[in-house]
Amino acid sequence: MKVYFAADHAGFSLKNELVNFVRGELSYDVEDCGASEMLVSDDYPPIIARAAKAVQEDISRNIWSRAIVIGGSGTGEAIVANRFEGVRAALYYGGNEKILTLSREHNDANVLSLGARFLSIAEAKSAVRVWLAAQFTGDERHVRRIAQIDMPAQKDS
């Protein structure tokens, strides 16, 4: 499985740590979608969009991949990723790691958004390990709900 990474300036150093961790210790195929240098003036939407689009394109080719996107809080990064059809981003900035497992088991989240300002390197590594190891259950109720999430928005009449 390929894991895409993307981060803005606030998540830049954590991204680099996690790329090495996921590629080295966890032995996943990794692609770094940027940022490629630390620029305080960077804008996160186009950087995060590269990773989300890569996951979306893999979905269209029936290739299983995931992405980890990182920003100061992770909120904006999750919002950007969730704009792409078929992409389901879960946000984590610390606390009970069970939410990471549930995001995979129940929601089949294929993007994890991390809040770098709220996680130590050790906490982020643990979160990534847990999230990448978790699997979607495939239970009918979860499949049904994901299909509802993926439906186009309905406008009120």
Q: How far apart are alpha carbons 129 and 104 in whole angstroms?
A: 12
Q: Which residue among 77, 85, 123, 142 is the active-site one?
A: 77
Q: Which residue among 31, 97, 105, 106 is the active-site one?
A: 106
97 is catalytic: no
Q: How far apart are alpha carbons 18 and 116 in whole angstroms?
A: 11
77 is catalytic: yes
Q: How far apart are alpha carbons 95 and 39 in whole angstroms?
A: 29
Q: How far apart are alpha carbons 143 and 107 in whole angstroms?
A: 8
List residues with catalytic annotation. Answer: 77, 106
